[in-house]
Structure 1
Amino acid sequence: MRKRSVATLITALLAGSLLTGAPSPSAEAADNRADSAPPADSPPRLGVDLDTVTIPELQARMADGSLTPSALTRAYLWRIKTVDPKVNAVLRTDPTARQQAAASDARHRDGTTRGPLDGIPVLVKDNVDTRGLASTAGSLALADRPPKTDAALVTRLREAGAVILGKANLSEWANFRAAKPTSGWSAVGGQTHNPYVLDRNPCGSSAGSGAALAASLSQVAIGTETDGSIVCPAGMNGVVGLKPSLGLVSGDGVVPISAEQDTAGPMARNVIDTALTLAVLSDHDAARRNSPATDPTRPADLRGKRIGLWRLPTLGPKVDALMVRTARKLRSAGAEVVEVTPPYQERLAELEFPALLSEFHRDIDAYLATREGGPRDLAELIEFNRDHPEEQTCFSGQELFESALAAPPTTDPEYRAMRAELKDLSRRSIDETLAKYRLDAIAAPTNPPAWTTDCARGDNDVIPSSTPAAVSGYPSLSVPAGFADELPVGLLLTAGNHQDGKLLSLGSAVESRLDAWRAPRYLPTVGPDPVR
C-alpha cells in the first residue's frame, strides 16, 4: 500500500489545486444507489476529537490505516442523528454518503487519493444546486424537483473526493425576502438555533452551515455571502469562515442575489481546513492568477505585521472590551496594531441596498429559468408566497421581493452610476486605509453577541464590518476572537484585492495566538439580550 504523508498532501495542494486548479480525476466508480441504513446507535470510535481535529490530521490517520472515510462519515451521520435535533442545522443527509465514503476507502487503500479533501465529509448550503438532492433556498417553491446537475463548486468537491454529507438549512432566499427577516429560518427547514445558547440566533443566511460546524456535524461546510452571510454565521457560531475574492469560486448553480457581490466560500472549525477547501473550490484560471505568495497552511509570524483595528464600539461594550484584549494579544505576539476607521461607510450604506434590488430581479429571473417546475420568475415567486401559508409561519413579509420587482432594470443609467460608485468607494475604503497605515490587514469585530431569535421582531443585525469587502469583492476572513459571556464573537480580517492566500496565512497566525475555540454547551438560554 502506497502511503501519502501530510507533507506530501500539502505539497500537492500548493503545487496543484491552489495554484493550477483541482485535478481532473476519473469518474466516480460508485453508483448512486440509495443507502438508507440509519447510523448505528452508538458513535463509532475514531480515536480523534471531532471538535478539534484538522483535515491534515485526518488524512495522516487515513494514510496509516487507522481511520477510514467510511468510519468518519458514519461518525458525522451519528452526530447529525443525535445532536442536530437540538440545533436543527441539517435539512437532509445524502443517501449516497456512505457509498461516496466507501469509494474513498478504496482510493486510500490503492494509493490513488485525489488530495486533502478525499473522504472528508462536507455539508452544502441549500441554495447550492446538488443533483438528486432537494436544493431549495429554504423555499417550498423549489422543494418538489431537485436539480439534475450539480453547481460548479459541488462538481469540484466531488472531483476532489469529498463526501457530500447533506444540505444545511439557511435563511430563506438568503435573507432577501422580507424587510425584517429572522436569520436561520426557512419554510422548508424551520429555525436553526445557535449551539452555544439555543434561544439565540445563528446569524446570516449561512446560519445552518455555521451552526452545524459549531456542533461538529461535518468537517467543513459551504456557505454563500452577498454581505455578511458567511462571516457573521462564522463569528456568531465560533467557527472560521472565508468570503473569497469575487470570482475565485464559481457561482454557477448557486441561487443568486447579485452577481456583483455573491460568492460561495468555505467554512470550518479552523483556518487550515478552510484554506484546503478553498483550494478545491477555486476556479482554475482565477486560482492561478490569485495564487498566494505564502503557504496558507503554515501560520505566518505576527512579528512585524501591521493590523488596523476598526473597533466599532456600536456593537456593544463587551465586544469592544474583547477587541481591546485582542489587540493586546496581537501586540504581545509582535504585531503592530493601530486604530483605523475606513472612510465612505455612510455612502456605501446608502447605495448598496437599492443596487441589490435591481440585481436581484435580473439574477433571480435568470436562475429560476434553469429550474423545472415552480415559479418561472420573480413575479410568479411573489404569487407563490401569497398562496402558501406555510411561507408565512415565522414572518409574512416579502417586501424585498416586491421592491425588487419594481426596481429599475440594470440597464438604467442611474443604477449603473450607483453600482460604479459602490465599486469605487468600497475599494477605496480598503485600499486607502491599507496604504495610509501600511497595513497587512484591517481587523474588526465580525458580530455582536447573538440576539434572541424572535420571529415577530426579526433580526438585530446592523453589522457594518462585512460591507467594505462584500461590496468591493475583496476577501474577508472571520476567526474566533473570544466570548461575550457564553456567546462567541469573531475577528474579521480584510485584505486587499485577490490576497486570499496571504489573508489565510495571517488568519492562521491570529487564530493560533487567540486560541479562542471552545465547544458549545447547548445552553437553553442566558437571559435577556445584551445592551448595545
Structure 2
Amino acid sequence: MNMPKQISEMLAAPAHAEQPTTRQFTRRDLLSVVRAAAVAPVVAAPAMSVAQAASTDTSNELIYMSATKLASLIRAGKVSASEAVEAYIARQLSVNDELNAVVMNSYARARKEAAAADKAGARGDWMGPLHGVPMTIKDSLDTEGVITTGATYGRQQHIPKQDATVVARVRKAGAILLGKTNTPEFTLGGLAGINAASNLLYGSSHNPYDMTRSTSGSSGGAGAIVAAGGAAFDIGSDWGGSIRGPAHNNGIAGIKPTSIRVPRTGHIVDYGGLFDLWQQLGPMTRRVEDLSLITPIIAGPDYRDASCAPVPWADPAAVNLKKLKVAFFASNGVSETDDDVKNTVIQAAKWMEGVAASVTEDLPKAILQDLYDARTKLTNADGWAFYKRMAAKWGTQNFSPSVGERMKTLTPISTADTVAAWDAADDAKSRMLGWIQKYDVLLCPVAGKAAEVIDRPASAARPNAYTWSYTGAFNSTGWPVVVVRCGTSADGKLPIGIQIVAAPWREDICLAVASFLESKSGGWKKPPI
C-alpha cells in the first residue's frame, strides 16, 4: 500500500534516541491514504510489504525448524511442500492423542494443496513467502470448508463459507492448513475458564512439557501443537493474554500486535462494542524471526473491520539496540509471582545491560492497578450478557459451566458506572503513555508462575484475582507485546517466557529485543513428548 512519504517516515520512526523532529501532515494526506487503500480488494494480498530475511535458525529437523527457514528450503528445492506436509501430519498423529491440541484436521485437502504448490514451484510460480509451509489455526477463526466451532455447541458442525481475513492472507502467501486447534468456548470461558484450553466439545489440551499442566488459554491448543513440532505456526487471538499466556506456558514465541493493526474479521469474537480495542490477532511460532515474517502479512485494513488502520510496518532489523532505554519490573506487586519468574525477568534485564543505552527498574504500579480495576468493571459491567448474546446467536443452549458460575455472582452495573469505568481506563492509558516516554521498551512477567496443574479443585479455579493482571493491562492500552522463552522453572521442566512491551506501532522494537533475548536464552526448546 502506497502512503504519503511524510506519514510513512513519521510512523516508522526509529527508536527513542533517534526520534526525528515531528513532521506536519495535512488532512488531505490522510485522506489520500484512505482513498488509495479503498480500491484494494477486501482480503487482498498482504497489506504490508514483506521483505523475507535470511533465517538464523540452526535447526536441521524439518518439523522443528522455523517457518522462515522451511520456506527458504522449499523455494530452493531442497524440501518439497508435500514432504513438509507429510512430516507435520505424521508428527500430529504421533502426539495429538496425548496433547488433544488439534481438534479438527484437513489432511486430505492439505495433501492436494501441497501437490499443487510443488507443481507451481517447479514452474517458478511461487505463491508468496509462506509457499508450502504447513500451519494450524485456532478454532475460533473461520476456515473455509473446514469445521470451525469456536468451541461452542451451537457451531459443532459449522462449516464457514470463507476464511477469516488473517487466514485468507496467510493462505494467499502459500501456507497450507493442517487443522484447527483447541480453545475455550468463545475464547472466553471453558471447563476451567481461560486457564486452560478446554471446552464441552473437545475437552482439555495438555502441555507438551508436562501433561498434567495447563497450556493456558485461550490459544492453548495452538501453543501446544506449535511447541511440539506439529505445525510451523498458528494464529491466535488475544483479548486479555490469550496469545501471551500460551506462549509462556508452552515455551514458544507469540505477538499481540498494536491494537487495530490486524483485522479481526472472521474471528468468533470479532470487532465492535465496548471491548473492541482489547482484541487482537497474531502469529504463534517457535522462533521470533517467524513473527517478523508473518505479522506484516496479516496486517492492514480489510475494509470490514472498521477500526483497522493502514499503519506502515517498521523493520525490526533497523532497530539499534545500543540506543534503547529499557525498563523492567520482576513483579507488579499485586499478582503472586514466584522466584523462577522473577529471576527470569532479572536475567533478561542483565542481558540487556550489555547492549542497551540504559536499563532501569521501574514499576508504574498505581497506573497498572487503575488499568486492572477499570478493565474488571468493564468486563463485568453487563453481567456477561454479551456472552449470552453470543450463545444465542449460534444457538448454544448449554455453554461453559465456568461462565454460568461466574454469571451467578455478577450484578450488572449502571450505565453511569460503566461510562465512569471507561473514563478511568482512558485516563490510565494516557498516564501510561506518559510513563513510557522515558523508555523505549519494557520487560516484565507474562504470569506469576510457570504452567500450573490443569486439574485443580473448583474453589481454586481462580486462585488469584490478579492472575491476568500482567497481560490484560496491555490489551487495555493496546500496545504491542512479544513473548519469548527466556528461562526454565527450577526443576528444569517448564518454560518461562517474558513480555517485551513497546509504545503503539513499535512492534519493530519488541521484535528486535525479543530476537536478542532469544539468542541469549536459546528460546524454544524441544519438549519431551
**What is the TM-score of this pair, normalised by structure 2?**
0.79
CA distance in structure 1 between the partners assigned to 2:357 and 2:500 by the alignment: 14
The alpha-carbon deviation at position 400 of structure 1 amounts to: 4.1
Q: How does 1:108-507 map to 2 (within 5 A)?
A: 108-176=121-189, 182-256=195-269, 258-284=275-301, 289-293=310-314, 295-296=315-316, 298=317, 300-312=319-331, 314-334=336-356, 336-342=358-364, 343-358=366-381, 368=390, 376-377=392-393, 381=396, 383-385=397-399, 398-400=404-406, 407=412, 412-429=415-432, 431-435=433-437, 438-447=438-447, 448-454=449-455, 456-457=457-458, 458=461, 460=463, 462-484=467-489, 485=491, 486-507=493-514
Question: Which contiguous aligned blocks of 4+ residues in structure 1 show a shift greater than 6 angstroms?
Answer: 20-23, 285-288
The alpha-carbon deviation at position 65 of structure 1 amounts to: 1.1
CA distance in structure 2 between the partners assigned to 1:254 and 1:108 by the alignment: 31
Which amino acid letter does the alignment assign opposite residue 346 of structure 1? Q
Q: Say which SS state the counterpart of residue 266 (structure 2) adopts.
A: coil
CA change 1:273–1:399 in 2 (3 A) is: same
The alpha-carbon deviation at position 287 of structure 1 amounts to: 8.8
CA change 1:101–1:316 in 2 (3 A) is: same
CA distance in structure 2 between the partners assigned to 1:146 and 1:329 by the alignment: 48
Is the Cα–Cα contact under 8 Å of residues 323 and 356 in structure 2 kept in the other structure?
yes
CA change 1:51–1:483 in 2 (3 A) is: farther
The alpha-carbon deviation at position 399 of structure 1 amounts to: 3.3
CA distance in structure 2 between the partners assigned to 1:171 and 1:354 by the alignment: 22
The alpha-carbon deviation at position 193 of structure 1 amounts to: 0.9
* Cα offsets for 1:455-489 (capped at 9, x unmatched): 53325561422122111111111011110131111
CA distance in structure 1 between the partners assigned to 2:68 and 2:159 by the alignment: 34
The alpha-carbon deviation at position 215 of structure 1 amounts to: 0.3
The alpha-carbon deviation at position 60 of structure 1 amounts to: 2.4
Is the Cα–Cα contact under 8 Å of residues 189 and 402 in structure 2 kept in the other structure?
no
Q: Say which SS state the counterpart of residue 96 (structure 1) adopts.
A: helix
Is the Cα–Cα contact under 8 Å of residues 299 and 506 in structure 1 kept in the other structure?
no
The alpha-carbon deviation at position 358 of structure 1 amounts to: 4.9
The alpha-carbon deviation at position 208 of structure 1 amounts to: 0.6
* Cα offsets for 1:360-398 (capped at 9, x unmatched): 9686577x5xxxxxx5349x64x433xxxxx6xxx5651
* Cα offsets for 1:337-361 (capped at 9, x unmatched): 2101124222222221231245896
Is the Cα–Cα contact under 8 Å of residues 235 and 282 in structure 2 kept in the other structure?
yes
Moved more, 349-358 or 220-229: 349-358
The alpha-carbon deviation at position 284 of structure 1 amounts to: 4.1
Is the Cα–Cα contact under 8 Å of residues 261 and 310 in structure 2 kept in the other structure?
no
CA distance in structure 2 between the partners assigned to 1:256 and 1:500 by the alignment: 24
CA change 1:158–1:59 in 2 (3 A) is: closer
The alpha-carbon deviation at position 300 of structure 1 amounts to: 4.3
Is the Cα–Cα contact under 8 Å of residues 372 and 473 in structure 2 kept in the other structure?
no
Q: Could you tell me which residue of structure 2 aligns to residue 17 of structure 1?
A: none
The alpha-carbon deviation at position 402 of structure 1 amounts to: 6.0
CA distance in structure 2 between the partners assigned to 1:64 and 1:470 by the alignment: 40
Is the Cα–Cα contact under 8 Å of residues 256 and 363 in structure 1 kept in the other structure?
no
Q: Say which SS state the counterpart of residue 520 (structure 2) adopts.
A: helix
Is the Cα–Cα contact under 8 Å of residues 255 and 364 in structure 1 kept in the other structure?
no
Is the Cα–Cα contact under 8 Å of residues 118 and 161 in structure 1 kept in the other structure?
yes
Is the Cα–Cα contact under 8 Å of residues 123 and 165 in structure 1 kept in the other structure?
yes
Which amino acid letter does the alignment assign opposite residue 457 of structure 2? A
The alpha-carbon deviation at position 222 of structure 1 amounts to: 0.8
Is the Cα–Cα contact under 8 Å of residues 179 and 397 in structure 1 kept in the other structure?
no
The alpha-carbon deviation at position 252 of structure 1 amounts to: 1.3
Which amino acid letter does the alignment assign opposite residue 345 of structure 1? L
Is the Cα–Cα contact under 8 Å of residues 287 and 523 in structure 2 kept in the other structure?
no
CA distance in structure 2 between the partners assigned to 1:236 and 1:357 by the alignment: 26
Residues matched between the structures, number:
460
Q: Say which SS state the counterpart of residue 102 (structure 1) adopts.
A: helix
Match for residue 528 of structure 2 among 513, 521, 527:
521
CA distance in structure 2 between the partners assigned to 1:364 and 1:161 by the alignment: 35
The alpha-carbon deviation at position 327 of structure 1 amounts to: 1.8
* Cα offsets for 1:212-254 (capped at 9, x unmatched): 1110110010111111110111011110010011111111111
Q: Say which SS state the counterpart of residue 136 (structure 1) adopts.
A: coil
CA change 1:516–1:278 in 2 (3 A) is: closer
Q: Say which SS state the counterpart of residue 248 (structure 2) adopts.
A: helix
The alpha-carbon deviation at position 325 of structure 1 amounts to: 2.1
Which amino acid letter does the alignment assign opposite residue 487 of structure 1? L
Instruction: Please list every run of 5 or more consecutive structure 2 residues that lacks an aligned counterpart in the other structure.
Output: 1-11, 13-36, 46-58
CA distance in structure 2 between the partners assigned to 1:288 and 1:451 by the alignment: 37
Q: Say which SS state the counterpart of residue 439 (structure 1) adopts.
A: coil
